[in-house]
């Protein structure tokens, strides 16, 4: 979910959100801190349909309209497995720093 619990706006307690999703029939619902990141299992195979159902449930329960993105475990595994920054690849890390002289900023 995007934009919840940021700067005191769109506040949703994770315990209440977890209960809402469990009541929707989602299984093994786990939340991560107050971020809106949630892991769950569902028999619904259509990620777009799940996004819509979760958005509507949040709107009804909390009177908030927040964007929801559902990423399937297959898609997440693909992201992890195709990461260009994996440990096996050689990486060079370079830091560039520019310090302006006081004369040039006055």
User: Any idea what the CATH number is for the domain that residue 62 is in?
Assistant: 3.30.70.1280
Q: What is the pLDDT of residue 7?
A: 72
The half-sphere exposure of 80 on its side-chain side, counting CA atoms within 13 A, is 7
For the chain, what is the domain count?
A: 1
| Structural domain range at position 50 | 1-106
Looking at per-residue pLDDT, the higher value among 78 and 99 belongs to: 78
Q: What long-range pairs does 65-73 form, CB within 8 A, spacing at least 24?
A: 66/1, 66/2, 66/3, 66/4, 66/10, 66/36, 67/1, 67/2, 67/3, 68/1, 68/2, 69/1, 69/2, 71/47, 72/47
Q: What is the pLDDT of residue 63?
A: 92
Q: In the 8-state DSSP scheme, what is residue 1? A: -
Question: The whole model's pTM is what?
Answer: 0.71
């Amino acid at each position: 979910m995007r934009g919840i619990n940021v700067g005191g706006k769109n506040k949703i307690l994770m315990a209440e959100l977890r209960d809402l999703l469990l009541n929707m029939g989602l299984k093994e619902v786990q939340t991560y801190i107050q971020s809106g990141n949630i892991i769950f299992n569902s028999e619904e195979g259509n990620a777009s349909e799940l996004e819509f159902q979760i958005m509507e449930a949040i709107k009804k329960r909390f009177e908030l309209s927040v964007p929801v993105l559902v990423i399937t475990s297959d898609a997440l595994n693909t992201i992890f497995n195709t990461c260009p920054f994996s440990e096996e690849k050689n990486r060079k890390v370079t830091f560039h720093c520019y310090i302006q002289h006081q004369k040039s900023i006055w």
